[in-house]
Amino acid sequence: MPTTPDLAAARWFTSSRSTNNGDCVECAVLPDVMAVRDSKDPSGPTLVFPSHQWTAFVTATTAGTLTRLRPVS
């Protein structure tokens, strides 16, 4: 069963294209995972992705190969 990573020591960052208006996605690189949160609510929920899945997502986004997923019912 996967364990929850310790986010206390995470070093959060935003895109270099982000502005200071607080509407940003923040990311943190941790051992074997990428953590993602909303900059407006840093103590709120955090999404955690295995590094290989995050890399695949970024690669597909950059290449423009993502397709729309069917809605969850």
Domain assignment present for 21: yes
Task: State the residue range of the domain holding 25.
Answer: 8-63
**Collapsed DSSP state (helix, strand, coil) of residue 55:** helix
- Number of structural domains the chain divides into: 1
Q: Is residue 3 part of a domain?
A: no
pLDDT digits (tens, 9 = 90+) for 2-24: 677 889 889 999 988 887 777 78
- Between 20 and 25, the higher pLDDT residue: 25
d(CA 33, CA 26): 14
* pLDDT tens-digit readout, 35-70: 999 989 989 999 999 999 999 999 998 898 887 776
Please count the CA atoms within 13 angstroms of the CA of 16 that sit on its side-chain side: 0
The pLDDT of residue 1 is above 60 = no
Using CB atoms within 10 A of its CB, is residue 7 exposed (0-12), middle (13-18) or buried (19+)? middle
State the pTM of this model: 0.77
* 31: CB partners within 8 A, 6+ apart: 5
